[in-house]
Structure 1
Amino acid sequence: MGMLDHRESVPRPVVAVSEEYPSAYRIAEHRHRRSQFLYATSGVMAVTTPNGSWVAPPERAIWIPSETPHSVRMVGDVRTQSVLLHPDVTARVGRDCEVVGVSPLLRELLVAASAVPEQYDEQGRDGMVMKLLVAEVASAPVVRLAVPFPRHPKLAERCHSFLDRPVASTTIGQWADQLAMNRRSFTRLFRRETGMSFAEWRQQACIAAALPRLAEGQPITMIALDLGYESPNNFTTMFKRVVGVSPSRYMMSSKAGAGDREAVLPGAPTKRLR
């Protein structure tokens, strides 16, 4: 991460970072003084922080606020085109990571930024590219592909364990019994700690586990059964509702070139970064 440390000190508000990583590569937990907009032109990335886990499929990026401790796991060979932004120039407010959609314009701006010199002319053409890039990052739609972790110690331990091996059929009653709580108290605690209902969180955990496996080309039936779905059809229905495309079309998008992905992975944005 020495290169990133060097680029964080460049006297410009936006700095582009282009990297290549082999399959299964892991970047240990670290943090940046600047916020990071992390985008992969190929492969899939999984980012984990103390507060949750985020997976970026094709045409998605991960917004990482400044000073957020995070680790990154690569699925497949990954090529990133990301930017580090000084907090003073970002319009993003909040402390949490986000998965966001990447429009064709934003994708091209990220590629163009990788060719911009570190100490570019802020008043010239390169400076205009970076200003437009900042504006596009600010308006990128947020996609609900996140698994927030609670701060409650016992509940957090249970959530981390579940994320390691999600089972879609697990119930509120099972979790409440394991934590020696009644159903109503557990439900209230879970929503207060994660901002989601138990069913929503369980579904997001299954999606987070499925996306990297689909990107690797594993059979859909095997993934569905491993996750505890009664049939591949049940899994496909859930996946399409949440991600916006079927698992098979998602696998196609993972293999497609960057120029082809927009047509096969429309996604389901929920809000915009402000």
Structure 2
Amino acid sequence: MRNISINQLDDMPRPVVAIGTDYSHGHLLPFHTHRRGQLLYGATGVMRVSTQSGNWVVPPQRAVWIPPGVAHEVLMLGVSTRSLYIEPCTVDLGPKCQVLNVSALLRHLLMEAVDVPLMYDQVGRDGVLINLLLHELTRSAPLPLHIPMPVEGKLLSLCQTFLNMPNTHQSPQHWADQLHISLRTFNRLFRQQTGLSFRQWRQQACVVQALARLAAGEAVTRIALDFGYESPAAFSTMFRRVLGQAPSVWLEPTN
């Protein structure tokens, strides 16, 4: 099915409902939840997904898993999606959102699934296709495109301010001073709240924010300078250290 709300199809007596949707650039889906788990795949464009626990950027031809009942907001940047709405307990992809790599086989299965009849024959060809899709989905590798957010009010505010204007030169001591706590206490608090050290979080936040800006057509040089890097080469080196590949690779189709 295409360009139809899952709310009209949620009670279909099938474990998977596949829907394809085209969005205008900049379209925002405000916070909402689904009874089913959702695999949200962007055939084109970039998606920015937000929940209370963090933010994710989903490059082209990757997907994000959104567990059942998790409130989320999605900003669509030139996106054509293929979504699977999956009955709870059908697959185990974990209780938290995560960006997933999408293999060539999974990509073709997702594209095909939206043309499968809603009441597909579960023991026929279409049922086999859906089952193979679910098997391939469980093999998908998670990608480090998540910015975990703290729950503590003042620290959360500092993190949100940083995301609006990332700066690689901001030090943990600077943040500790703003919170009126010692550096040691700050480092312990930050790791407790986010699961990452401040340096890891700062780098990951810069990388994820950079992907969203690259998708909007901004140059690496502009982004690198805005983030406080001395040169595009220095920024690209950091990017490769975090994600293993150059910035441009993440905006290209997967193999």
Q: In which range does the TM-score fall when normalised by the shorter chain?
A: over 0.9
Question: Residues 18-68 of structure 1: CA distance to partner in whole angstroms, max 9, x if unpaired?
Answer: 000111111111010011111111000010001100001123211101100
Structure 2 equivalent of residue 51 of structure 1: 53
* AA partner of residue 61 (structure 2): E
Preserved CA contact (<8 Å) 1:214 1:250: no
* Structure-2 separation of matches of 1:26 and 1:203: 26
Q: What's the counterpart of residue 270 of structure 1? A: none
Aligned-residue offset at 1:2: 7.1
Question: Secondary structure of the equivalent of 1:16?
Answer: strand
The DSSP-based 3-state class of the residue aligned with 1:89 is: coil
Q: How has the CA–CA distance of structure 1 residues 86 and 211 changed in structure 2, closer, same or farther, with 3 Å as cutoff?
A: same
State the partner residue of 2:143: 143
2:81 is the counterpart of 1:80: yes
Q: What is the rounded CA distance, in whole Å, between the counterparts of 1:44 and 1:63 in structure 2?
A: 15
**Letter aligned with residue 52 of structure 1:** G
* Residue identity in the other structure for 2:234: N
Q: Residue 31 of structure 1 aligns with which residue?
A: 33
Indicate the SS of the match to 2:100.
Answer: strand
Give the whole-Å Cα distance in 2 for the aligned partners of 1:229 and 1:65.
36
1:106 Cα deviation (Å)?
0.6
Percent of paired sites with the same residue: 44
Deviation of the 1:162 alpha carbon: 1.2
Contact 2:56–2:208, Cα closer than 8 Å, also in 1: yes
TM-score normalized by structure 1?
0.89
Please, which runs of 5 or more residues in structure 1 have no aligned partner?
254-260, 264-274
What's the secondary structure of 2:5's corresponding residue? Answer: helix
CA contact (8 A) 1:176 1:186 kept: yes
Q: Secondary structure at the match of 1:63?
A: strand
**Are 2:58 and 2:64, in contact at CA under 8 Å, matched by a contact in 1?**
yes
Please state whether the residue corresponding to 1:87 is helix, strand or coil. coil
The CA deviation at 1:93 is 2.6
Aligned length: 253
Corresponding residue number in structure 1 for 2:24: 22
- Mapping 1:101-180, distance limit 5 Å: 101-180=101-180
Query: Structure 1 CA distance, aligned partners of 2:100 and 2:108?
Result: 16
Separation in 2, partners of 1:262, 1:165: 30
Determine if contact 2:82/2:111 at 8 Å carries over to the other structure: yes
CA shift at 1:262, angstroms? 2.5
Question: Is contact 1:15–1:83 with CA below 8 Å preserved after alignment?
Answer: yes
Q: Is the 8 A contact 2:21 2:81 kept in 1?
A: yes
TM-score, L = length of structure 2? 0.95
| 1:196 equivalent in structure 2 | 196
Measured on the aligned residues, the alpha-carbon RMSD in Å equals: 1.4
Q: What per-residue deviation string (whole Å, max 9, x for no partner) do you get for residues 143-187 of structure 1?
A: 111001111121112111211211111110011001111001110
Tell me if structure 1 keeps the 8 A contact 2:101–2:142.
yes
- What code does the residue aligned with 1:18 have? G
1:7 Cα offset (Å): 2.2
Equivalent in the alignment of 2:229: 229
